Amino acid sequence: MPVRRHPTARQARLGAELRRLREAAGLKATEAASLLGVNSAQMSQIESGASGVSEERVRRMAANYACDDTELIAALVEMTAVRTRGWWEEY
């Protein structure tokens, strides 16, 4: 996926939540990137919202981070699927 210059609030929030989960698991970004099969730059882009992330990767990240909060995982997965524009974007 291409790198975004200006991530939306939703994309930034998704990245921040993924970073929070990684940090709670006690993993460094390089360790998490290795588990996910990406390089550290890609991991940084995912966590900043500059790069998109698939539903599959979100689920793999949650499993790697030993996150068993199914409601949180479902919410994060939903954030990857939402492609509609918000009402505020026309302003």
* pLDDT tens sequence across 15-42: 999 999 999 999 999 999 999 999 999 9
d(CA 80, CA 2): 15
d(CA 15, CA 38): 15
Average pLDDT across the chain, whole number: 88
CATH class for the region spanning 9-90:
mainly alpha
Are the CB atoms for 47 and 21 separated by under 8 Å?
Answer: no
d(CA 15, CA 7): 10
* The model's pTM: 0.83
Evaluated on CA atoms 62, 19, 42, 35, the torsion sign reads negative
Which of the four pLDDT bands, split at 50, 70 and 90, describes residue 84?
low
pLDDT value of position 57: 94
Residues 42-71, mean pLDDT to the nearest whole number = 94
Indicate the DSSP class of residue 25: T
The domain ranges of the chain are: 9-90
